[in-house]
Amino acid sequence: MQKLAVLTSGGDASGMNAAIRAVVRSAIYQEMQVYGIYQGFEGLIAGNLSEMTLGSVADIIHRGGTILQTSRSNLFMQEKGMEQARENLNQLGIKNLVIIGGNGSLKGGYEISRLGINVIGIPATIDNDVVYTRSIGYDTAVNTVLMAINHIRDTASSHGRVFIIEVMGRHCGEIALAAGVAGGAESILVPEIETDFEQMIEKIQAGIGRGKLHSIIIVAEGVYPVMDLQDYIVEKTGQDTRITILGHIQRGGTPSAVDRILASQMGKMAVDCIASGLRNVMVAGREEKIFTIPLGEVINGTKTPELEMFELARILSI
Ligand code: F6P
């Protein structure tokens, strides 16, 4: 009987539970034995795992977070940790490991695959920064940000204020761009594109000139300190300017239909890969298609932002 284990790793993302459910149920459907590893790579090193049944994943498809819990493991990046992880899997005769997580987790997966474990990756991170694919959790996070923009727009126009909204996306402007376009932001600041501060100020001033009641500026975390940005806008425009940092609210909540479906398709595909003998790949999903990419290619790639989206936002926010 084929054996596999599944873990979630790195920052949690809504839809991880739907992916765990799909992996467990598809594995049992294919008469495989499936184990859940708790707390990500930390749990793998500690040998914290147990067999999962159909019932283990009942009533979780709609829940945010991850029932397996997660961690960001420094131990795993060291040889000793990795050897221990392999040993724990070998002792139970588990040759296949499904890793649900973002870039760091997939990198960890690639390393352990070099020790002989067959690793199948499933991309899950709200940042959507894994190459070649859409990631589980991104759609839900964008919708959460959108809801926040809608709420802020109400109060911003009531008071005639400028609002700076900081969103997540370490080194990556995907959430900021998508939520900015869908939310009608005046300016979007992302790490991949140099900010034209003069243009940002001109837009605010032009808006005031036309009798516009508010301005929304979306900033991806880490691009620019939002307090400095606030001081700069106040100095240049004299406008009452407020800051909202959305933070971890973007990571939780019930997953969207898009994320649940993607997670279900990817989870099943991961098990199909194991059944068909495919080794060390990431399951990817783009434009309604689910396919695989060698793990080695994924970890060396860098996702480039969609410049057309940025251009779209720029044109529509004049
Ligand atoms: O999950 C990815 C991410 O949300 C980044 O956008 C953010 O910088 C980071 O996680 C925050 O991580 P932590 O929860 O460990 O503070």
Q: Which residues line ligand 1 (CB under 6 A)?
A: 11, 72, 125-127, 168-170, 221, 251
Cβ atoms of residues 280 and 119 within 8 Å: yes
pLDDT at 302: 85
Distance 210 CA to ligand 1 centre (A): 39
Helix axes 257-275, 138-159, angle to 10 degrees: 160
DSSP 168: -
* Percent helix / strand / coil, the chain, rounded to 5: 45, 20, 35
Whole-Å CA distances, 52 to 67, 88, 168, 318: 12, 17, 33, 54
Report the nearest-CA residue for atom 14 of ligand 1: 11
Q: Active site includes 129?
A: no
Q: Rounded to whole angstroms, how far apart are CA atoms 207 and 317?
A: 10
How much of the chain, in percent, has pLDDT values that exceed 70?
Answer: 100
Please provide residue 272's backbone torsions phi and psi, each rounded to the nearest 5 degrees: -60, -40
Residue 265 in this model has a pLDDT that exceeds 80? yes
**What are the residues whose beta carbons fall under 8 Å from the beta carbon of 110, sequence distance 6 or more?**
119, 280, 295, 296, 298, 299
Residue range(s) in the chain whose domain bears CATH number 3.40.50.460: 139-251
Q: Which CATH architecture has domain 3-137+255-299?
A: 3-Layer(aba) Sandwich (3.40)
Q: Which of 127, 129, 139, 259 is catalytic?
A: 127
Residue 96 in this model has a pLDDT that exceeds 80? yes
Sign, CA torsion 310/313/316/318 = negative
Ligand 1 atom at shortest distance from the alpha carbon of 251: 4
Top mutation candidate among 42, 126, 168, 259 for ligand 1, by most atoms within 8 Å of CB: 168
Q: pLDDT-based confidence at 75, cuts 50/70/90?
A: confident
The length of the chain is 318
Cβ atoms of residues 128 and 172 within 8 Å: yes
Written as six digits, the tokens of 131 are 């190459």
Q: pLDDT-based confidence at 22, cuts 50/70/90?
A: very high
Looking at CATH, the fold of the domain delimited by 139-251 is given as Rossmann fold (3.40.50)
How much of the chain, in percent, has pLDDT values that exceed 90?
Answer: 90
Which residues lie across from 284 on neighbouring strands?
291
Residue range(s) in the chain whose domain bears CATH number 3.40.50.450: 3-137+255-299
Three-class DSSP category at 13? coil
